[in-house]
Amino acid sequence: MISIVVCSVSPEKLEAFKINVESTIGVEYEFVVVDNRVENYSLCKAYNVGAEKAKYPYLCFAHEDIAFHTQNWGEKMVEQLSLPSTGVIGFAGSQGKSKTMTTWNLNERYKRINILETIPSGTRVFSVNPDQDEFSKVVTLDGLCLFVRRDVWAEVRFDDINFDGFHLYDLDFATSVFANGYMNYVCHTVLVEHFSKGSFNETWYKYSVVYHQKWNDKLPLYSIDIDEDRKAYNERLAYRSMSYMLIKRSLEPKKELRKRVSTCYRYFPFHFKPTTLLIRYVISSLKSSKK
C-alpha cells in the first residue's frame, strides 16, 4: 500500500530504518532503495527514479536516518492521503511562504512541527500545534519524510533540472504541489525521530536563490486567510530574520549584506534588532578580513 523511497548512502542506517518500519507501519509496504553510492544522483533525481519503480499508490520519500515512534502510522497516513484534496504530508512546515528568501519556516507564528531531533549533544522535542489539529494545513514542508499519492507526484514530480543537488528539493516540491491546488499538511498524530539536523551553507544559499527566482511570481503563498497588511509585515520580518542568518554565515557578498543592514533600519527604525544586525555585520566583516 505504501512504497517507501529512500536515497541511501549508509547500509547500516538503512537496515535500522527497515527494522523500524517493519515493526511500526501496520500496512502493506515495500522499500524502493536507490543506492546513491553507485548512482550519485541528486536527491530529486533519486526520488523520481525510485517513484517510477514503486508499485503502490502511496509514496513515502524518507531520509534513512529517521525512526517512527507511533504504531500503525501507515493507516493514519493512508487515511489522510486518500482525501482527493491532500497534497504532501510531512512533520515540519509553515502555513506561509514569503516572497522574501527564507527557509521552510516563515516565522514562529506560522510554524507547525512534530518531531524528535537526536544529535550527539542530545534529543530535543519540537512540537508546535496551537490549534490542536491532527493535521495542520501548511504550504511548506521539511524533507526528512514526505508522503504523497503517486498520482500527485506524477503530476508535479521533483524538479531535478533546477535542483540538481541536495538542498531546497523539499521546499520546491511542497510549493509545486500547493500551487497546483492541493493542501499540504503537518501530521501531529505520528511521531518521527530524526538523527541529524539541517545545515545552511553556500550550497544551500545557491539553491535558495534558484528557488526564489523560480517562484517569484507566485509568492507569497498561505494556507490560511490573512490580510495584505499582515502579509507585508511578514515580508519585513522575514527579511530581517534571514539577514541575521546570512550575515552570521557570510553567505552573501558584502555589498548585499550592507544593503540588508540599511533596509532593516528602514523597516524597523525604532527597534533594537537592526542595531544587533549591524553589530553582526561588523563582526562578520572583521572575521573575513582576517582570513
pLDDT over 90 at 139, yes or no:
yes
Q: Which burial class, exposed, middle or buried, applies to 82 when counting CB atoms under 10 A from its CB (0-12, 13-18, 19+)?
A: exposed
Which residue's C-alpha cell is 516565522? 107
User: pLDDT exceeding 70 applies to what percent of the chain?
Assistant: 98
Domain boundaries along the sequence of the chain: 2-222, 228-290
Residue 89 is predicted with a pLDDT of 98
Strands 29-35 and 2-8: parallel
**pTM (global) more than 0.95:** no
pLDDT digits (tens, 9 = 90+) for 263-288: 988 999 878 878 888 887 887 776 66
For domain 2-222, the CATH class is alpha beta
pLDDT average, residue stretch 189-217? 95
